Structure 1
């Protein structure tokens, strides 16, 4: 499977009209290393991203997208020491099943994690305005 960074790198390389060996030569790497990154087998190093930025003269948007894709492709995470026990248990359970989750489960989990963002995008509605009752003598019959 490909990582967000490998997808980004392949698209960037193809958009630049280069083959893997050409990109590798431009950046000073072996073609096998570029291939391993594009396949998601290896993560990109900071050095690689710097050379990619300079070698292809990335614009600000592409550089930001590259950094974001690298962050999204991280494989190792460290929990802060002060998280609740439930957080440890959640991470452990997720890790135990990570390679057996169905795509629908992954989509559902991602939406659940982002629910706070979704809620802030929705307008909040105040209580409906209540109409004052008319007095009996004002009521039409």
Structure 2
């Protein structure tokens, strides 16, 4: 399931409607609603969200949540044509392995993608650890 599928299903449950009733209220077939909830259908358009918002009279919270989930659920990405050879190679290696990534690999990739944000907001840390100096106890005699 995609983030949109999850949010969409939660909206239907929040509205206390069965799929068939939800579909009728929105003007779609029940099979289409089911496919969206299962994630077998790609994420719909922004116009679909606008229709949902209008027909269900959704508040700003639900509209923002659905739009955010829609963005997070995109299946296709486009590599800018001016990308470097290294970027093309990395992009295609990810494309080839995407279905076999271990959860630890996904977590590492997510961490790497968050680095610019973390680096720009984190205060600089000193690379050196201050040394403790040893001062002999003057009360001890040799």
Q: Please indicate, yes or no, whether the TM-score normalized by the shorter chain is above 0.5.
A: yes
Cα distance per residue 1:8-53 (max 9 Å; x no partner): 1011111111111111000000110001001111121333222211
Structure 1 counterpart of 2:81: 81
Structure 1 counterpart of 2:47: 47
Cα distance per residue 1:70-106 (max 9 Å; x no partner): 1111111111111111111111000000000112211
Unaligned 5+ runs, structure 2:
129-142
Question: Which TM-score applies when normalising by structure 2?
Answer: 0.82
* Matching of residue 67 in structure 1 with residue 67 in structure 2: yes
Q: CA deviation at 1:108?
A: 1.4
Looking at structure 2, the residues matched to 16 and 29 of structure 1 have their Cα atoms a distance apart, in angstroms, of: 16
Question: Which TM-score applies when normalising by structure 1?
Answer: 0.82
Between stretches 32-41 and 14-23, larger displacement belongs to 14-23
- What secondary structure, in the 3-state scheme, does the structure 1 residue paired with 2:77 have? coil
- Asked if the contact 2:4/2:70 (under 8 Å) is kept, the reply is yes
* Matching of residue 28 in structure 1 with residue 23 in structure 2: no
Q: How does 1:1-141 map to 2 (within 5 A)?
A: 2-42=1-41, 43-125=43-125
Unaligned 5+ runs, structure 1:
129-141
**Root mean square deviation of aligned Cα:** 1.9
Aligned length: 128
Looking at structure 2, the residues matched to 25 and 54 of structure 1 have their Cα atoms a distance apart, in angstroms, of: 14
